[in-house]
Amino acid sequence: MSKPRINTMEELSAAIGVSRPTLSRFFQDPTLVKPNTVARIEAGLAKVEYIPNFFATRLNRKSTGMIGVIIPYLNDLFFTKLLESVEIAAMEAGLTVITQCSHSDPDIEARAAETFISMNVDGALVAPLGDHSDQAVYRRLQSRLPFVMMDSRPNTMQGVDFVGTNHTQSTGLIVEYLCRIGDPPVFLAMPRVNFNALEREAAYIAKMEELGFKPQVLGTELVNEDWHFEKHGEAVLDAELSAGRLAERSILCANDRLAIGAIRAATRHGLFPGRSKEGGFRVAGHDDYPLCPNINPSLTTVAQNTDAIGKKAVSRLLQKISGGLSDDTPEITLFDGSLMLRESA
């Protein structure tokens, strides 16, 4: 037999014979209610179909049990991986995650931050767009909520806790590898809009100079207004190969999505990255995008530790929420990358 459906707290109170304030305390925290009353409520709930209103049960709490997360792209599987690690860590801590996407638009990013303030979430994790973000909004967010940045650290937000990747180590790791197996790599960059790419470019230049090689950077100029990572990588390398350049070089791309585009350009010119045992044409990336093992050829890259980044970001945010920090000095946590050797290099 189907259970009778209960729609409101008032109906539930009448159905199981417990006052509405007592029910409200029960749904906020069962330890606030006497054990015999808890047993009575649980027995009553077993006989009816009732789902408490998520927001109503949190109105009078000191904590909403919710954290906000802002990511810049929905169509980038790297951020899907990062969000997954954040959600798992948050669920283990008993928190609900509310996700907003900025869609690479500072105005949308600002609205997302204001939404979290208006919702009175316990804290926020943000993968920011960069220096073109609305700094006034983020100062307001930081003054109202515990706030931790992930993945990218803009110059304008140096005073905020940050969890991300050690790009000096990760980029240096793959530069050393490529120099070991062939000619020193060329760096395929992107237009000056991405802080991680800029950090990797700087790390590439530093490591090349340390090893005694001359750095060569391509792709810093916008190819067209409708650029995307893959299209940019494809267009830049296609132009170089069409001019008779780089067919015997290693290409280190600022991220894996650029590398996927570069491989597409290479195959159009009859090149198959990584097929020669030594030297020759090779393509490598950075991030370990989830598609990397499945493209042809599979992509050699550096994996960011998204599990550790997500777990640490949630842990740091919980520290700030609980007020368990002795001072306001921002904590910067960087995780090393891991070399993922596959067919392309």
pLDDT in tens, 236-288: 999 999 999 999 999 999 999 999 999 999 999 999 998 666 778 999 999 99
Overall residue count recorded for the chain in this entry: 345
Return the pLDDT at 25.
Answer: 78
Say which residue, 19 or 313, is predicted with more confidence: 313
Reported pTM: 0.82
Pick the CATH number of 167-303 from 3.40.30.10, 3.40.1260.10, 3.40.47.10, 3.40.50.2300: 3.40.50.2300
Closest CA to 164 of 299, 47, 2, 331: 331
Say which residue, 226 or 122, is predicted with more confidence: 122
Say which residue, 73 or 163, is predicted with more confidence: 163
Closest CA to 189 of 250, 266, 254: 254
Residue range 219-244: average pLDDT? 90
pLDDT in tens, 134-144: 888 888 888 89
DSSP state letter for 289: -
Question: Hey, how many other C-beta atoms are within 10 angstroms of the C-beta on 315?
Answer: 14
**Residue 41, Ramachandran bin (φ over 0: left; ψ between -120 and 50: alpha; else beta):** alpha
- Cβ(122)–Cβ(187) below 8 Å: no
Which CATH topology does 66-164+307-336 take?
Rossmann fold (3.40.50)
Rounded Cα distance, 54 and 296, in Å: 46
Return the pLDDT at 138.
Answer: 85
Say which residue, 10 or 258, is predicted with more confidence: 258
Residue range 125-130: average pLDDT? 90
Return the pLDDT at 98.
Answer: 95
Amino acid at 5: R
Distances 128 to 181, 196, 342 between C-alpha atoms, Å:
36, 11, 31
Rounded Cα distance, 104 and 99, in Å: 15
Return the pLDDT at 259.
Answer: 98
Residue range 11-32: average pLDDT? 81
Return the pLDDT at 219.
Answer: 94
Rounded Cα distance, 37 and 29, in Å: 13
pLDDT in tens, 26-68: 877 788 888 888 888 888 888 888 777 666 555 555 678 899 9
Residue range 204-233: average pLDDT? 91
Rounded Cα distance, 319 and 330, in Å: 12
Torsion of CA 101, 103, 105, 106, to 10 degrees: 20
Same fold, 66-164+307-336 and 167-303: yes
Q: What pLDDT band is residue 121 in, cutting at 50, 70 and 90?
A: very high
The alpha helices in 185-242, defined as continuous H runs, are 195-210, 229-242
Q: Where are the domains of the chain?
A: 9-58, 66-164+307-336, 167-303
pLDDT in tens, 157-205: 888 999 999 999 999 999 999 999 999 999 999 887 778 889 999 999 9
* CA dihedral (238, 213, 170, 151) positive or negative: negative
Rounded Cα distance, 112 and 137, in Å: 10
Strand partners, 67: 97, 123
**Residue 258, Ramachandran bin (φ over 0: left; ψ between -120 and 50: alpha; else beta):** alpha
Rounded Cα distance, 93 and 5, in Å: 31
Return the pLDDT at 32.
Answer: 81
